[in-house]
Amino acid sequence: MANKTQRYYRSLYEIAAAVNSVRIPEGVLDSMAKTVSEALEVKGCSVMILTADRKVLLHTAAYGLSDSYIRKGPVSADRSIAEALEGKPVAILNAAEDERVQYREQAKQEGIASMLSAPILFKGDVMGVIRVYAAKQHYFTRSETHFVQEVANLGAIALERAKELEQCFIEVDKLEEGRRQFVRFLSVVAHDLQSPLVATQSILSYIADGYTGEITDGQKDLLQRGIRRIDELLMLITDLLDIPRIEAGQLVREMQELSLNGVIKQAVVGLDNVARQKGIELKIELPESSPKVYASSRRLQQVLINLISNAINYTHDGMVRLRVKEYENEIAIEVIDTGIGIPPDELPKIFGDFFRGRNAGKKGTGLGLSISKRIIEAHGGKLWAESPCLETGIGSKFTFTLPKNGRLGQNPGRNESVQSLRVNN
Amino acid sequence: MKQRPKILLVDDDVDLVKVMSGALESKAYEVIVAYNGQEGLEKARKEKPDLVVLDILMPVADGFTFAAQFRKEPSLAKIPVLALTSFSESLGQPFPFEVTEYIVKPIKPRDLVAKVEGFLKRAETA
């Protein structure tokens, strides 16, 4: 007897552990039916759930029963179940003859002699019935009945959690749809804000470049000023709209496996010219075999362009160096310059939105670094700065990390089939 | 190459079209204008241009629709296409079709002319 009690406790413990696991595995009710059958050493066990109209029960999980028995049809709340549905376990000694049983003939064919049904109750609400089947006529003892009732109580929790989980999925779907609509909305806003500016700028350039006839230097200067102001506005719109786009997870859908060297090479196109014009050396040190990263190519390029052009901007002589370091779990990309550095009181603020340092020139929105930080963090990495660079004692060093072979979040799927662009240059 | 190369300009922005075609015509190009992808396709079939300058975001049929159809038609498939996109729309993002080259807006009419000239020169020597 003690042995049996121990077995019941162990079984209850196992079922509770399964029910309690973070995610409800689909098979939790099936394994429950199995555990009960084995603990009681009976033919089988099934879990039946009431449909929404509460008139019919459906087999949701079963163990030890033939498919034909399980699929015999909808189980109406017969008297044996009705009693169980009232909240108390019901034992049937002879299922083939007891009038409270709906499918007596099928029970006989299945080799079922006795049955015990217990209600699955959650907060006083009946959700269904758990039923145990014995092949030989059997009087269910108090401890057996008690055990089955306890299992039913755990089953109720499992079902309730499954319901909550389903509700969560519905909520997640709604959020996803909202997010998609938001990103679509942003694209439209971006296009509608930019188009008139782009057209206006082209008209000004058209006049400034003399297509409409000779203009004076004074007129040309004013037109150039107008063009520059539109540039500022276009940059601001791009930056402002970038923030919600990154935060709405658009970036995650653009992520794919990339060769880091390739991304860096693409990003520095044009920047070496800018550096040369200032008389600065731009030194790009790439590892011999390129590390693989899981990233959005254009967003990573955006970060690299931002960091390198900042470095060039704040360096008047010397060099800007890009270096890649590989660690066990991450890759660090460092941009080191020999420039004027960052004043200590500004250093903690440089990643803030709209921050403009004392030494900043006229260009820029003060959003570049804050956007870069968001981009890197969306990739599961970190971005930080030191000034002066601890290694060289001068200038600044910006470092960002990316997880190695990191597959963050979900597979973007959709973008993977997109062909890459062929650029003939 | 013909005496006057024919450029098909497909863009829905009338003001942009005005200055871009003005700049191209000043270089003695023959400019044909279409204000959406559908019209662009019809004119391309009729006129067989030497080069297409194609905006991406347009009503009726956008640049994607245009180029997908364009590449399917044997008489048009070989014609080079320069795609125009605004910075925030594209920056290195692959298009789901082959364009010969893409240009990020805003672009000065003068720079567009230089691009077109350079491109036609390369196409000629290729």
Residue A201 lies in a domain: no
Averaged over A301-321, what is the pLDDT?
93
* pTM score, whole prediction: 0.59
Give the orientation angle of helix B63-72 with respect to helix B37-47, to 10 degrees.
30
Sign (positive/negative) of CA torsion A418, A423, B4, B8?
Answer: positive
DSSP-based three-state secondary structure for A301: helix
User: CA A299, CA A316: separation in Å to the nearest integer?
Assistant: 28
* Residue A408 confidence (pLDDT): 47
Amino acid, res. A24? I
Residue A183 lies in a domain: no
Q: Does the distance separating the beta carbons of A201 and B110 come in below 8 Å?
A: no
* Residue A85: closest CA among A69, A104, A100, A106: A100
Bridge partners of residue A423, in order along the sequence: none
Residues A409 and A280 in one domain: yes
**Contact with chain A for residue B102, Cβ under 8 A:** yes
**Contact with chain B for residue A421, Cβ under 8 A:** yes
Distance in angstroms between the alpha carbons of the first and the last residue of chain B: 12
pLDDT tens readout for residues B65-101: 787 788 888 888 888 888 887 654 544 445 555 667 7
User: CA A125, CA A85: separation in Å to the nearest integer?
Assistant: 9
Give contacts of A 35-74 with B, CB under 8 A: none
Q: Which residue of B has its CA nearest to A267?
A: B92
User: CA A290, CA A292: separation in Å to the nearest integer?
Assistant: 6
Q: Tokens at residue A249, please?
A: 């997870």
Averaged over A1-20, what is the pLDDT?
80
Give the orientation angle of helix B14-25 with respect to helix B109-125, to 10 degrees.
50
Averaged over A293-307, what is the pLDDT?
91
Residue A111 lies in a domain: yes
Q: Which residue of A has its CA nearest to B18?
A: A203
Which chain B positions have a beta carbon within 8 Å of A202's beta carbon?
15-16, 19-20, 106-109
Bridge partners of residue A333, in order along the sequence: A324, A400
* Residue B55: closest CA among B46, B67, B44: B67
Residue located via tokens 């290195």: B92
Q: Does the distance separating the beta carbons of B19 and A203 come in below 8 Å?
A: yes
Q: Which of A146, A162, A178 is the last residue of a domain?
A: A162
Residues A154 and A281 in one domain: no
8 Å CB contact between B9 and B21: yes
Q: Tokens at residue A167, please?
A: 């509700």
Bridge partners of residue A56, in order along the sequence: A76
Averaged over A222-248, what is the pLDDT?
85
Q: Which of A125, A145, A162 is the last residue of a domain?
A: A162
pLDDT tens readout for residues B35-49: 988 899 999 999 999
> Domain with A116 in it: what CATH number?
3.30.450.40
- C-alpha of A353 from chain center: 25
Q: How far is CA B56 from CA A253, A379, B61, in A?
A: 21, 29, 9
Residues A18 and A129 in one domain: yes
Please state which of the ranges A274-278, A333-337, B62-66 shows the lowest mean pLDDT.
B62-66
* Residue B89 confidence (pLDDT): 53
Is pLDDT of A319 > 60?
A: yes
Q: Does the distance separating the beta carbons of A190 and B88 come in below 8 Å?
A: yes
Give the orientation angle of helix A2-20 with respect to helix A28-40, to 10 degrees.
180
Buried b (16+ CB within 10 A) or exposed e, A166-185: eeeeeeeeeeeeeeeebeee
Q: Which domain holds residue A360?
A: 255-425
DSSP-based three-state secondary structure for A114: strand
Tell me what percent of the residues of chain A surpass a pLDDT of 90: 44
8 Å CB contact between B52 and B10: yes
* Residue A405 confidence (pLDDT): 66
Residue A135 lies in a domain: yes
Q: What is the DSSP letter of A135?
A: S
Nearest CB neighbour to B23, from listed A206, A241, A418 = A206
Complex-level ipTM beyond the 0.90 threshold: no
Cα torsion for A48, A54, A55, A60, to the nearest 10°?
-20
Residues A268 and A408 in one domain: yes
* Residue A419 confidence (pLDDT): 31
User: CA A196, CA A385: separation in Å to the nearest integer?
Assistant: 38
> Domain with A370 in it: what CATH number?
3.30.565.10
What burial class does residue A327 get, using C-beta atoms within 10 Å of its C-beta: 0-12 exposed, 13-18 middle, 19+ buried? exposed
Q: Which of A109, A144, A162 is the last residue of a domain?
A: A162
Which chain B positions have a beta carbon within 8 Å of A190's beta carbon?
86, 88-89
Which chain A positions have a beta carbon within 8 Å of B98's beta carbon?
419, 421-422
Is pLDDT of A122 > 60?
A: yes
User: CA B37, CA B40: separation in Å to the nearest integer?
Assistant: 5
Per-domain residue ranges for chain B? 6-125
* Residue A346 confidence (pLDDT): 92
pLDDT tens readout for residues B13-39: 999 999 999 999 999 899 999 998 889
pLDDT tens readout for residues A323-336: 999 998 899 999 99
Buried b (16+ CB within 10 A) or exposed e, A256-271: eebebbebbebbbeeb
pLDDT tens readout for residues A41-80: 999 999 988 888 877 888 888 999 998 888 777 777 666 6
Please state which of the ranges A290-304, A360-374, A384-398 shows the lowest mean pLDDT.
A360-374
DSSP A279-294: T-EEEEE--SSPPEEE
Residue A30 lies in a domain: yes
Residue A299 lies in a domain: yes
CA of A404, closest CA in chain B: separation in Å? 23
Q: Does the distance separating the beta carbons of A198 and B108 come in below 8 Å?
A: no
Cα torsion for A104, A109, A110, A115, to the nearest 10°?
30
Distance in angstroms between the alpha carbons of the first and the last residue of chain A: 85
pLDDT tens readout for residues A333-375: 999 999 999 999 999 999 998 888 888 776 778 889 999 999 9
Mean pLDDT of chain A: 85
Report how many domains make up chain A: 2
What CATH class is the domain B6-125?
alpha beta
